Chains A and B, each alone.
Chain A
Amino acid sequence: MLNRRAVSFLLIIAVLCAGGCETARYKRFQTEFTGLFDTATVIIAYAQSADEFGLYAEIIYNRMEELHRLYDIYNAYEGVNNLYTVNQNAGAAPVEVDRDIIDLLLFAREGYDLSGGAVNVAMGPVLRIWHEYREEGLALPPMGALLEASRNTDINDLIIDEAGGTVFLRKPGMSLDVGAVAKSYAAGLAIRAASDAGMISGLLSAGGNVTAAGKPMDGRNRWGVGIQEPEPSADNTREQADTVYCSDTTVSCSGGYQRFYVVDGQAYHHIIDPGALMPANLYKQVAVIHRDAGMADLLSTALFILPYEEGAALAARRGAEALWIDTDGAWRATDGYAAISKTLSDYSASDGSP
């Protein structure tokens, strides 16, 4: 009888720690650095050794760096045709480019159609003017100059020859700016490369856009991804607006609080509405959650620019979840967002599917 009791006791213990024993082999590792896509990068992963983590971090870094060079519009690199090369050859000649550039631009053109032109990678001439004035920090760009530049932003003049492997900007004044899509698109590819090498549990933050692979190997079913308040509080602290619990997905935020300058007491940020040629000003911040990293980033920019009804319809069409924080601080969220939100539900990281 004692034996039976002992056996049943041991069985109970075994069942209780089965989950924990599997995760006990995994430790959490992390590294953070700058230098890619003009932003900070953070890699977090659960791995069985520091060497294993180092391998994943190296794969992610190398892939991101390769894509950073290809998608760079400001610098030329020896022996590489990148988007800078494409822009330099606007109106002159098609440029032979890497497949990664063709794929990004095909994706961006799809994004243009999806968003009704709200996200347009051919907006380079207009964004360049805003960039220069923001760096100067003194005045607003004259509307005449913006209008003049906007004549060379027709995405139909971006000629992608998939079979020939070339890209051509048909008019001389054209230029590409992939700032709204490139870093998350690259993060998605980098995470995939690490997953192919065996990473089962990782997070990659590219400038605040967070891509999650798998779930955390510490017993929880979901990662907790915080959503930062768009503006610092009165005592200059960055509060946390919310936390969403998710796995195998990307959380992307768009807002006007990172890159902006002030003219006559008014802040002007970097997300330009292609219709108005001025910074979009409907919301403080939009957060989008989508399985595809590039799509999450593209949609967060699109939703930040589009009126709520149009944005909500677009999110629904693409199966994305979203949170809109209005300029007066009011929240609007999709039902799917609310279901995984700490603030809007009782959900927590240890729960299963919502």
Chain B
Amino acid sequence: MTDRALITKRDIRVFAALLVFALAAYAFFRLFGGGAEKARISVGGRVVQTADLNQDAEFSLEQNPNVRFAVRGGAIAFIGSDCPDKVCVRSGYLKYPGQTAACLPNRAVIFVTGASEDTDIVAY
């Protein structure tokens, strides 16, 4: 066995290549993996529906067909409700992970989930 240096030039090249690959993968997921993809709809603290935000749709709450939602261009909103103040509808379309909107009289909450490493929850 020949005597070799502890770390050779070849080792450094392999290590550098691994590092570049890791950084590229990290950058890729930071740039393209951060979008919101789903929204949870809870009623009374229980998740009753999960909406795919990549698929435009309109649907209503199983518990109350008067509470209506729309998914449009990666965002979700309450579009109708039988509540008196319509604060839920006024909340508009949500698309960022951590955003919430609620219809208090119907105990319904939308929460946008996603792969974002950046924002855990949105204050409002």
A interface, CB within 8 angstroms of B: 1, 4-5, 8, 30-35, 38-40, 42, 44, 135, 203, 205, 208-210, 216, 220, 223-228, 232, 235-240, 243, 251-253, 255, 258-259, 287, 342, 348-349
A-B contact pairs, 25 of them (CB 8 A): A1-B4, A8-B6, A32-B109, A33-B42, A34-B107, A40-B101, A203-B120, A205-B100, A223-B120, A225-B119, A228-B99, A228-B122, A232-B92, A235-B93, A237-B93, A238-B91, A238-B96, A238-B99, A239-B96, A240-B96, A240-B99, A251-B123, A252-B123, A258-B87, A258-B124
A216 CB contacts on chain B under 8 angstroms: 120
4 closest A-B pairs by beta carbon, nearest first, are A226-B122, A33-B45, A40-B102, A232-B92
B75 CB contacts on chain A under 8 angstroms: 237
Contact A227–B42 (Cβ < 8 Å): no
CB distance from A32 to the nearest CB of B (A): 5
Closest Cβ neighbor of B94 among chain A residues: A238
CB distance from A257 to the nearest CB of B (A): 8
A1 CB contacts on chain B under 8 angstroms: 1, 3-4
Interface of B (DSSP majority class): loop
| B40 at the binding interface (Cβ < 8 Å) | yes
| B121 at the binding interface (Cβ < 8 Å) | yes
Give 7 A-B pairs besides A224-B117, A238-B93, A252-B123 with Cβ atoms closer than 8 angstroms: A31-B45, A34-B102, A38-B104, A40-B100, A40-B109, A135-B85, A223-B120
CB distance from B73 to the nearest CB of A (A): 8
Partner of A226, one of B6, B91, B96: B96
A227 CB contacts on chain B under 8 angstroms: 122-123
A228 CB contacts on chain B under 8 angstroms: 99, 122-124
Contact B99–A226 (Cβ < 8 Å): yes
Closest Cβ neighbor of B2 among chain A residues: A1
Contact A210–B123 (Cβ < 8 Å): yes
Bound-state CA distance A216–B121 (Å) is 12
A32 CB contacts on chain B under 8 angstroms: 40, 42, 45, 100, 109, 111
Interface of A (DSSP majority class): strand
Contact B95–A237 (Cβ < 8 Å): yes
CB distance from B60 to the nearest CB of A (A): 18
Closest Cβ neighbor of B102 among chain A residues: A40
CB distance from A247 to the nearest CB of B (A): 11
Contact A42–B123 (Cβ < 8 Å): no
- Binary contact track B44-62/A, C-beta < 8 Å → 1, others 0: 1100000000000000000
Contact B121–A225 (Cβ < 8 Å): yes
| B77 at the binding interface (Cβ < 8 Å) | yes
Partner of B123, one of A40, A44, A225, A238: A225
Closest Cβ neighbor of A228 among chain B residues: B124
CB distance from B4 to the nearest CB of A (A): 7
Please indicate which of the listed interface residues B77, B108, B116, B119 has the most CB atoms of chain A within 10 Å of its own CB: B119
Bound-state CA distance A176–B82 (Å) is 31
B107 CB contacts on chain A under 8 angstroms: 33-35
Contact B121–A205 (Cβ < 8 Å): yes
Closest Cβ neighbor of A237 among chain B residues: B93
Bound-state CA distance A240–B94 (Å) is 10
Contact A44–B121 (Cβ < 8 Å): yes
CB distance from A56 to the nearest CB of B (A): 14
CB distance from B3 to the nearest CB of A (A): 7
Contact B123–A208 (Cβ < 8 Å): yes
Partner of B87, one of A5, A223, A232, A259: A259
B117 CB contacts on chain A under 8 angstroms: 220, 224, 349
Please indicate which of the listed interface residues B44, B92, B94, B111 has the most CB atoms of chain A within 10 Å of its own CB: B92
Bound-state CA distance A4–B92 (Å) is 62
Please indicate which of the listed interface residues B6, B87, B109 has the most CB atoms of chain A within 10 Å of its own CB: B109
A238 CB contacts on chain B under 8 angstroms: 91-96, 99
Bound-state CA distance A259–B87 (Å) is 8
B100 CB contacts on chain A under 8 angstroms: 32, 40, 42, 205, 208
Closest Cβ neighbor of B44 among chain A residues: A33
B101 CB contacts on chain A under 8 angstroms: 40
Q: Indicate whether A42 sits within 8 Å of B118 (C-beta atoms), given known contacts A33-B42, A34-B102.
A: no
Q: Indicate whether A349 sits within 8 Å of B118 (C-beta atoms), given known contacts A4-B6, A42-B111, A208-B124.
A: yes
Q: Indicate whether A34 sits within 8 Å of B3 (C-beta atoms), given known contacts A208-B124, A228-B122, A259-B87.
A: no
